[in-house]
Amino acid sequence: MLGARDLVLIIDFGGQYTQLIARRVREARVYCEIIPYSTPLSEIKSRNPKGLILSGGPASVYLPDAPKCDPGLLQGELPVLGICYGMQLMAYLLGGKVKRGEKREYGLAWLQVVDSEDPLFRGLPTEMQVWMSHGDLVEEVPPGFSVIASTSDTPVAAMVDHGHRLYGVQFHPEVHHTPRGKEILEHFLYDVCGCQGDWTPKSFIEEQVREIRQTVGRGRVIGALSGGVDSAVAATLVHRAVGDQLTCIFVDHGLLRKGEKEQVENFFKEKVGLSLVTVDARERFLKKLKGVADPEQKRRIIGHEFIRVFEEEAARLGEVEFLLQGTLYPDVIESGSQTAAVIKTHHNVGGLPENLKFRLIEPLRWLFKDEVRRVGLELGLPEELVWRQPFPGPGLAVRILGEVTEEKLEIVREADWIVREEITRAGFDRQVWQFFAVLLPIRSVGVMGDERTYAHPVVVRAVTSEDAMTADWARLPHELLARISTRIVNEVAGVNRVLYDITSKPPATIEWE
């Protein structure tokens, strides 16, 4: 956690848009964190937040098992904004009435602002488009509250108790479909909470450098360096803090993309000047993965083996106390929490062994990917590295469905190279969040050179996203997809069919495993 100048805490009730709230707050240059609804009041107060935001959620506040925060949060010590379920809970806990609506309201609605001078709506139109997603509604506001906005189906679309600085909105200001939502959130952050908007990449770097120096002292750090933007930014940040107390280790586990080892060694040794040790562990990892088809087991095996390699290298380096990792906020969220289900275990979160011998240094743990890129640019890293394609820690092992073999690695490695080369050549590499090839554990009949073939299908995956929490499939030109398909079939032995994945996240994830 960061010692940010301004801090806003988002109380999570399991809402589908909770991460979007966090992103919008950070886009307003205010640092925030998502915490479970069950977090004790004393712990929240000890963080000295400037304000609180209660997220949406799927439950009904009047049911016995509905998630509820400590009512002490609503006593006026801190400004609070309740969104959707958060507003309903605020009303319910303070003596208002919440009921099941006669008409559920999902999608676009028109908000009628009753009090245009209220800080939340000041300077905004008295009628504006908002996004609704609710079945319950506030029938009667609590004592001390007044209604400041409504829609045709929701009489209480926004409410306020100015004396206690408590606000509630039934709509979702955090989503794109509420066009003025960003301004509404900024009004709460700046005009109600008094935030200064001083959380920037520069201030983040300064705070992290101080915190890393304080934590590490004179100790030594071993860095998990993959060459991707996350580990690169993390390593550069720690190097700025502790200099040659950091040694970076690059593990060639045999699951890398084409040319990756050479790129990493050239850049970090020659251009950055980091102390870098390369470990050839290809045979070791493939042996461990032999016969393993389950994706979660793959991730755990790779995570455990990574740590063991680091431990062995650390022993050769002498006494090392800290392990650096490029863990991001989505990794933490997707690996499960009280209000977020385990989507998939990230090797650097849930895949770590219980008897870990190092203390972890994770300076990017609270950042989204786009924030990491901005920090990287502020650190002076070149754009070609900062904008490098995201690549999962388990590498090509999770892009090969089923057992990992050398033959399958060669197929997916060559197919992936063609995908990346063609999309980059066409100028879509900055417009598309991530693009790669996946090898399926099946074969299909084809015909090549007037002969029957029975070979592998390859799936091309390309998605657009802002933070990897949600994603949509990229609408690449048909001509580009045709070139990719033709080259893969012609140039990659063992492939006779190419498919294009047109599934968003959710319901799918970006990676296939």
Dihedral pair phi/psi, residue 262, rounded to 5°: -65, -40
Contact 444, 454 (CB under 8 A): yes
What is the DSSP pairing of strand 127-140 with strand 146-150?
A: unpaired
Of 32, 33, 69, 84, catalytic: 84
Q: What distance in Å separates the CA atoms of residue 250 and residue 252, rounded to the nearest whole number?
A: 6
Which residues are CB-neighbours of 72 under 8 A, at least 6 positions away? Answer: 41
How many CB atoms within 10 Å of residue 507?
Answer: 6
Q: What distance in Å separates the CA atoms of residue 160 and residue 147, rounded to the nearest whole number?
A: 7
Q: What distance in Å separates the CA atoms of residue 143 and residue 387, rounded to the nearest whole number?
A: 52
Cis peptide before 507 (omega within 30 of 0): yes
Contact 256, 395 (CB under 8 A): yes
3-state secondary structure of 321: coil
Of 134, 172, 187, 253, catalytic: 172
3-state secondary structure of 161: strand
Q: What distance in Å separates the CA atoms of residue 235 and residue 425, rounded to the nearest whole number?
A: 30
Of 174, 186, 305, 422, catalytic: 174
Q: Is 35 exposed, middle or buried (0-12, 13-18, 19+ CB in 10 A)?
A: buried
Q: What distance in Å separates the CA atoms of residue 381 and residue 360, rounded to the nearest whole number?
A: 24
Which tokens go with 156?
A: 């209480």
Residue 102 annotated to the active site: no
Which tokens go with 305?
A: 């083996």
Residue 172 annotated to the active site: yes
Side-chain-side CA neighbours of 502 within 13 Å: the count stands at: 5
Q: What distance in Å separates the CA atoms of residue 345 and residue 324, rounded to the nearest whole number?
A: 19
3-state secondary structure of 208: helix
- The string of DSSP letters for 378-399 reads HTT--HHHHTPPP--TTGGGGG
Contact 37, 70 (CB under 8 A): no
Long-range contacts of 372-377 (CB under 8 A, 24+ apart): 372/229, 372/230, 372/233, 372/328, 373/229, 374/201, 375/201, 375/204, 375/205, 375/233, 375/237, 376/229, 376/232, 376/233, 376/236, 377/201
Strand partners, 31: 7
Residue 183 annotated to the active site: no
Write out the catalytic residue numbers.
84, 172, 174
